[in-house]
Structure 1
Amino acid sequence: MTTHTEPEPDVEPLLDVFKALANPVRLQVLRWLRDPVRHFPVERAIADPVEVGVCVTHIQEKTGLAQSTVSAYMAELQRAGLVRATRVGKWTHYKRDEARIAEFVAVLGRTL
């Protein structure tokens, strides 16, 4: 007999991360953000891509998707704790949250 139980407290954040990473474009963007200087046009950046992050416009150009789609994807990654957003003027920049990613990997290791 199988019974349905609520997920353990530390499993819920894992589910959010898995959902965010289940989309191939979001996964690719997270990989690109690991080395922003290599993957994005630094010469056109209005802020340091390593310190502040990459402008959503540059992410949109690289993916070829609509700006609204990219913004929704980045919001999903942010909700999962994988990236942080910083406003620079009217532009939003995204940077990986390495501490949260490391925490996710540790929880994953303890949970599975």
Structure 2
Amino acid sequence: MNNYTDSTLVSIASLLGALANENRLRIIQWLADPGSHFPPQQDGDLIEDGVCVGFITEKIGLRQPTVTSHMKILQEAGLVESKKIKNWVFYKLQEEQLDGLLEAVKKAVQKSTIQR
């Protein structure tokens, strides 16, 4: 059984906290497959550069300061990275971080196998 230290569990909980909002979780879902959820952009490639905050704002139907706040939480958790192109900020999913989180949660809750 994987016995995580308290600090590791706190770290996992912090990352999960960043995802514990339906709007942030929805944004993560969209960023996981931006080509299916957003139109082509004039500046920046959806896959290489990320999605313009304006497109995210328009799609989710919230005010830009609210979306920016959600994105800041996701970025501080390391789940997205940002890139400025001209006057806009583009956000891209950090898939490795998300995959690592999912794996850590799985290991944290796995039952130990009893050998007979």
Pair 1:75-2:98 in alignment: no
**Offset from partner CA, 1:5-52 (integer Å, 9 cap, x none):** xx712112211222111111110010011110110111x341001011
Any unmatched runs of 5+ in structure 2? 110-116
Following superposition, which runs of at least 4 residues in structure 1 exceed 2 angstroms of deviation? none
Structure-2 separation of matches of 1:80 and 1:45: 28
Q: TM-score under structure 2 normalisation? A: 0.84
**Offset from partner CA, 1:69-101 (integer Å, 9 cap, x none):** 000000111111111111112211001001111
Q: How is 1:20-59 mapped onto 2 (pairs within 5 angstroms)?
A: 20-42=18-40, 44-59=41-56
Contact in 2 for aligned 1:55/1:93 (Cα 8 Å): yes
Partner of 1:11: 9
1:35–1:88 Cα change, 3 Å: same
> Sequence identity, in percent?
36
Partner of 2:99: 102
Q: TM-score under structure 1 normalisation? A: 0.87
Q: CA RMSD in A?
A: 1.3
Deviation at 1:110, TM superposition (A): 2.0
Deviation at 1:53, TM superposition (A): 0.2
Q: How many residues were matched structurally?
A: 105
3-state SS, counterpart of residue 10 of structure 1: helix
